[in-house]
Amino acid sequence: MAASKEDMNISFRRFEDNETDTSYDWDEYIWQASWSHKCPTYVHRTPPCQGSCPSGHDIRGWLAIVREMEKSPDLEWEEYAFQRAMDSNPFPSMMGRVCPAPCQDGCNRNEVEDFVGINAVEQYIGDTALEKGFVFPVDAEESGKKVAIIGGGPAGMAAAFQLRRKGHACTIFDDHSELGGMMRYGIPGYRTPRDTLDAEIKRIIDMGVDTKLGVRIGKDISMEDIDKEFDAVLWALGCKSGRGLPLEGWADTANCVSGVAFLEAFNEDRLQVVSKSVVVVGGGDTSIDVASVARRLGHIENINQNDRPENVVMGYTAHDVAASASRTGAAVTLTSLFPVENMTAAEHEVTDAKNEGVDIQGSVMPIEVIKDADGRATGLKMCQCTMDGNRPVPTEGTEYVIEADLIVSAIGQYGDLDGLSEMDNGHGFIDADAGYQVKGKSGHFVAGDIIRPHLLTTAIGHAAIAVESIDTFFKEANAPKRPKVDVHHFNLLDKLKEGGLEPKPYNHEQDRGTSSADFAVHNYEDRSSHEIIPADELFLGHFAYTPRLKREDVPVSSDEVIGHFKERMKGLETAQAQDEARRCMSCGMCFECDNCVIYCPQDAVLRTPKKASTTGRYVYTDYSRCIGCHICADVCPTGYIDMAMGE
């Protein structure tokens, strides 16, 4: 409902208690063309890169540090950037390599020319931290509480990191011989180099994390024993059971396997070769990994029946490395319900797979497994399809068969909850509330793919929230409502305290004329918990066309792919990382461009004195000079200035 200003009877508190005046001429005071009493206020909002990041990374913050705009009073910028990045993610090297970077899709720089290479800079931060030996400090006082973490993948490891930072003891239980979960067993080593992964895991363990490997809760150790020994339990099991194709006869066919099982067999060095012709059904990153691995492994002629790939994948045997030396290329086809350009796999991974000789077919669906007299699959009947939402609709008369000695389903996965039926929601997952506490089970929490399979960075984000809930549980406090924009927010008060600039204690005596008082932060509003700043609130004309600095991607041709397990992506050098960080537009936060200072016709906007300056406090307004012309807001590149009511 709207009302004209003539109909409004506006009454408000002004200057003295109980004194009101409704006779203001609002045309004169607010709607004048030449001046108004709407003066600039500095408003912090969440940038869309951070809002798009499932782990809630303070991306704008560590990019500002890399470009040496935001500084630490006592740390070099490389370590300061690492400390800021690891607030939300203890695996910057890994995530910088394999995260499909939804942050880059959300980046407002896309409206200028191209997104900021966020994951490239993140990889630089992570690799530099390992090179220089940066560690995670544990400054919190020990709480005396113990948490059992069931699962040592990205969610479990990230939870251990966050728990130790809060002073809680924790023990990770995992049924593998090594930690890492999907980072180790679900992604090939040429994408997650094992020496780098091991170093990032060790850095967390060195914080004082206990581990018990090769044990399974519900089988080797009972849940009753866990509940007796620990004050809380975090379930971070991951999803290790792959979904088969929804086709009759799939489950009974020996050479039809899941992508999860295929990659685990490869990453455990059991699978050394594949069949002559392999079909992978999927379209996501897992299917790309399966297809690329299959091309690298190749096949050998006259393979022993016991050494067929499916027997290795199912764990019945293992390949001999020497016997696979004479391997030749395998024909690998990857199919997707969606058009190739709409596949969920990262674009550069799709491009690399094509270069490596993978035949990728989009807008097709499997309709029948073709078998021989022995019941083995010899091919996969396909047809073209269109999509009705997420439901494929077959196109009649377009059927064809792809020859296949091995068919791999990479269409999704679910949790292995054998022996833990009380945790199963009936679909192979564990239900949780908004704070990731297991529903109806006090003291039990959950994080990662076992809630809903998604990205590695999503699991890391779950872990941080779950640990906050565990900490609240230990304090016997009521769980706070999660903010609308649930990320790791920049906090101006923390930044002021870091530089010794925090407000002085309030003596509760002064209640008027406080604009120059030193017990508060003036003319600053933090809306980051409920607002993400869009591109149309920025002054994009400020930013010159600057091409993105891309990491060097070492191409692997189809002729040289067999046995090629070296990392394909070269990281940025220091100067490149800093130059790329400078492309960040600092959406929702001042970055000292000086536009407001330069263009203010009244000289009302001034630079904050250097001794009092810090991030978010680079400029201030002399309101005795301000006429409310709003030029400062118009020329602010980052949308940090709002014209607000004032006098």
Confidence at residue 37, expressed as pLDDT on a 0 to 100 scale: 65
Q: Is 80 exceeded by the pLDDT of residue 315?
A: no
Q: Is 50 exceeded by the pLDDT of residue 6?
A: no
Average pLDDT, the chain: 91
- Mutual angle of helices 285-297 and 259-267, in 10-degree steps: 50
Contact indicator for 618, 608 with CB cutoff of 8 Å: yes
User: 88 or 31: whose pLDDT is higher?
Assistant: 88
480 in any annotated domain: no
What band does 12 get if pLDDT is binned at 50, 70 and 90? Answer: very low
Confidence at residue 593, expressed as pLDDT on a 0 to 100 scale: 95
Q: Is 50 exceeded by the pLDDT of residue 62?
A: yes
81 in any annotated domain: yes
User: Hey, CA dihedral for 117, 120, 126, 127, is it positive or negative?
Assistant: negative
Stretch 485-504: mean pLDDT: 94
2 in any annotated domain: no
Stretch 32-45: mean pLDDT: 76
Burial of 254 (0-12, 13-18, 19+ CB in 10 A): middle
Q: Give this prediction's pTM.
A: 0.90
- CATH classification at residue 570: 1.10.1060
Quick one: 226 and 288 in the same domain?
A: no
446 in any annotated domain: yes
Quick one: 307 and 380 in the same domain?
A: yes
Q: What are phi and psi of 196, to 5 degrees?
A: -70, -45
Q: In the chain, pLDDT over 70 holds for what percent of residues?
A: 92
Quick one: 341 and 364 in the same domain?
A: yes
Burial of 378 (0-12, 13-18, 19+ CB in 10 A): middle
Contact indicator for 56, 84 with CB cutoff of 8 Å: no
Stretch 7-26: mean pLDDT: 49
Q: Is 50 exceeded by the pLDDT of residue 1?
A: no
Indicate the range of 457-466, 475-484, 571-580 predicted with least confidence: 475-484
Quick one: 222 and 170 in the same domain?
A: yes
Q: Which strands sit side by side in the sheet containing 359-361, from one edge to the other? A: 256-258, 406-409, 277-282, 331-336, 359-361
Confidence at residue 174, expressed as pLDDT on a 0 to 100 scale: 97
Quick one: 266 and 162 in the same domain?
A: no
Across the chain, which distance is largest between two alpha carbons, in Å?
97
Query: Domain range holding 236?
Result: 146-240+415-474
Quick one: 447 and 405 in the same domain?
A: no
Pick the last residue of a domain from 393, 414, 435: 414
Integer Rg of the chain from CA: 29
Q: Is 70 exceeded by the pLDDT of residue 322?
A: no
d(CA 101, CA 96): 8
- CATH classification at residue 175: 3.50.50.60
227 in any annotated domain: yes
Contact indicator for 459, 248 with CB cutoff of 8 Å: no
Quick one: 227 and 310 in the same domain?
A: no
166 in any annotated domain: yes
* 532-582 residue pLDDT tens: 999 999 999 999 999 999 999 888 999 999 999 999 889 999 999 999 999
Quick one: 128 and 153 in the same domain?
A: no
Q: In the chain, pLDDT over 90 holds for what percent of residues?
A: 79
Contact indicator for 156, 172 with CB cutoff of 8 Å: yes
Confidence at residue 523, expressed as pLDDT on a 0 to 100 scale: 87
Stretch 255-283: mean pLDDT: 95
Please count the structural domains in the chain.
Answer: 3
Pick the last residue of a domain from 367, 386, 414: 414
Pick the last residue of a domain from 581, 598, 621: 581
409 in any annotated domain: yes
645 in any annotated domain: no
What band does 22 get if pLDDT is binned at 50, 70 and 90? Answer: low
d(CA 290, CA 297): 10
Quick one: 74 and 178 in the same domain?
A: no
User: Hey, CA dihedral for 157, 163, 164, 165, is it positive or negative?
Assistant: positive
Quick one: 263 and 380 in the same domain?
A: yes
Confidence at residue 312, expressed as pLDDT on a 0 to 100 scale: 81
Quick one: 441 and 456 in the same domain?
A: yes
Contact indicator for 63, 97 with CB cutoff of 8 Å: no
Closest CA to 64 of 531, 621, 641, 580: 580
Q: Is 60 exceeded by the pLDDT of residue 139?
A: yes
Residue 116's SS3 state is coil
Quick one: 259 and 326 in the same domain?
A: yes
